[in-house]
């Protein structure tokens, strides 16, 4: 069972009635996001589609400020300094939301994202069960890549929950904000929030290595010092999970290396080749196939589900040699041959979705890195489905 996480040293004022009502609405209909801005009505994101909240009028600046102040409490320094401030909000029913309050020309805006209150199995996320093998590792670096809103935190939460339930170890998470609350099960779990419990990811990661961890989750690694420390932690016998903003597995590797000077990149590639264990690169996309239609929602409307397109890279000796040798262009071909090791390319993932009637072929082609390779996998996937149907 999840519980609210303190997000600052001071207690926050009660949430205004308008926000309480809107958060309750999002929870009731299953909306993932809520957007508030002065001079416009509230909008919700439901199954990936941004639309106005029914029955809600435009909000003025005074109403937005009345909502923003209790969200931020006494922690408004970043809003004044940078024009944006992160926070976390707990609704009356205990549902938690990540909030970002920001200024724009002419007023205040607030973006809120609903945080999941349960850990979902990998199969429910559209990811292969073979990823549970990553939870049995005792050292190394595991990256989850993808754009904002692609489900990276959800994937990591599922893996950390698995470790929590199966291993006697010490897990430290460093997040901004804490999204999933892990109650200690078989493992000891300590979760730290940037801004409330530590100044930044780098400082928290350095101190974590003095706190006897077995597993460390870093919410995001994007700057040189944090990447360097994460690699060092993996080298010294810790299992490190982290997210990185990248479109695919090769992009994640190159993004990690690109922050270093040209002189350092050779040695960093060698280090990364030694410690990297896996990369999962995922995208959430709207289904446009016949199997993607959801049952009617509370408003009677049918919408489409979103599906995960996931690349999986497992670092075997061949992949490690390509990373160390600065041959990223050859990695996709090695992944094509790595099915026995649990690898899959984006084209293979897209082909499976098309064969399952969750995506149309034309849509998959626009998303593929190599349309020719995608079509080859489509032939194989459809042949597999046909033979499976014949056996039944």
| 166 shares a domain with 22 | no
Region 120-139: what's the mean pLDDT? 96
| 148 shares a domain with 91 | no
Region 343-360: what's the mean pLDDT? 95
**CA 239 to the chain's CA centroid:** 18
Tell me the pLDDT of the chain averaged across its residues. Answer: 90
CATH of the domain at 45: 3.30.450.90
pLDDT of 109 over the 60 cut: yes
pLDDT of 212 over the 80 cut: yes
pLDDT tens digits along 156-169: 999 999 999 999 99
| 22 shares a domain with 126 | no
| 143 shares a domain with 88 | no
| 173 shares a domain with 148 | yes
What helix, strand, coil percent values describe the chain, rounded to 5?
40, 25, 35
Interstrand relation of 140-145 and 239-244 (parallel, antiparallel or unpaired): parallel
Three-class secondary structure of residue 47 per DSSP: coil
| 22 shares a domain with 84 | yes
Flag whether 231 is in a domain. Answer: yes
Flag whether 88 is in a domain. Answer: yes
Burial tier of 202 (Cβ tally within 10 Å: 0-12, 13-18, 19+): buried
Confidence bin at 1 (pLDDT 50/70/90): very low
pLDDT tens digits along 19-51: 999 999 999 998 999 999 999 999 999 888 899
Give the 3-state DSSP-derived string for 71-109, with helices as H, strands as E and coil as C: HHCCCCHHHHHHCEEEEEEECCCCCEEEEEEEEECCEEE
| 244 shares a domain with 224 | yes
Q: Indicate the number of domains in the chain.
A: 2
Q: Does residue 376 or residue 118 have the better pLDDT?
A: 376
| 145 shares a domain with 74 | no
pLDDT at res. 290:
87
Q: Which of 90, 114, 138 is the last residue of a domain?
A: 114
Flag whether 132 is in a domain. Answer: yes
Q: Does residue 256 or residue 91 have the better pLDDT?
A: 256
Which residues form the domain of 57?
Answer: 17-114
| 144 shares a domain with 97 | no
Flag whether 11 is in a domain. Answer: no
| 147 shares a domain with 110 | no
- Rounded CA-CA distance 391/54 in Å is 49
Contacts of 53 (CB under 8 A, 6+ apart): 22, 25, 34, 41, 42, 43, 44
Q: Are 205 and 222 in contact (CB under 8 A)?
A: no
| 277 shares a domain with 237 | yes
pLDDT tens digits along 242-286: 999 999 999 999 999 999 999 999 999 999 999 999 999 999 998
Region 120-145: what's the mean pLDDT? 96
* Closest residue by Cα to residue 113 from 174, 55, 185, 46: 46
């Amino acid at each position: 069972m999840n519980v609210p996480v303190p997000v600052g040293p001071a207690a926050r004022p009660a949430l205004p009635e308008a926000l309480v009502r809107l958060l309750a609405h999002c929870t009731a209909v299953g909306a993932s996001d809520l957007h508030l801005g002065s001079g416009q009505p509230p909008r919700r994101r439901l199954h990936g589609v941004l639309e106005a909240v029914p029955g809600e009028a435009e909000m003025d600046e005074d109403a937005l400020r009345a909502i923003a102040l209790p969200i931020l409490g006494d922690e408004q320094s970043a809003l004044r300094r940078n024009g944006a401030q992160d926070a976390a909000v707990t609704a009356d029913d205990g549902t938690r939301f990540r909030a970002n309050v920001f200024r724009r020309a002419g007023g205040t805006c607030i973006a809120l994202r609903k945080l999941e209150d349960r850990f979902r199995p990998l199969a429910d996320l559209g990811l292969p069960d073979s990823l549970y093998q990553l939870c049995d590792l005792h050292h190394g670096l595991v990256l989850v890549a993808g754009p904002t809103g692609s489900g990276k935190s959800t994937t990591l939460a599922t893996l950390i929950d698995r470790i929590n339930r199966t291993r006697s170890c010490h897990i430290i998470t460093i997040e901004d904000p804490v999204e999933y609350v892990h109650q200690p099960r078989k493992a000891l779990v300590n979760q730290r929030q940037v801004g409330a419990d530590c100044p930044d990811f780098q400082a928290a990661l350095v101190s974590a290595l003095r706190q006897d961890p077995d597993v460390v989750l870093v919410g995001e690694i994007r700057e040189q010092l944090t990447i360097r420390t994460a690699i060092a932690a993996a080298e010294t016998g810790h299992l490190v999970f982290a997210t990185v903003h990248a479109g695919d597995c090769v992009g994640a590797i190159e993004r990690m290396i690109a922050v270093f000077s040209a002189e350092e990149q050779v040695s960093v590639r060698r280090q990364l080749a030694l410690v990297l264990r896996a990369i999962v690169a995922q995208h959430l996309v709207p289904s446009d196939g016949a199997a993607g239609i959801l049952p009617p929602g509370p408003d009677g409307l049918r919408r489409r589900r979103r599906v995960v397109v996931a690349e999986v890279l497992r670092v075997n000796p061949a992949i490690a040699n390509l990373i160390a040798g600065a041959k990223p262009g050859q990695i996709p071909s090695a992944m094509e041959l790595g099915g026995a090791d649990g690898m899959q390319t984006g084209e293979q993932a897209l082909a499976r979705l098309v064969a399952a009637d969750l995506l149309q072929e034309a849509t998959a082609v626009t998303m593929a890195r190599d349309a020719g390779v995608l079509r080859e996998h489509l032939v194989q996937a459809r042949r597999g489905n046909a033979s499976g149907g014949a056996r039944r």
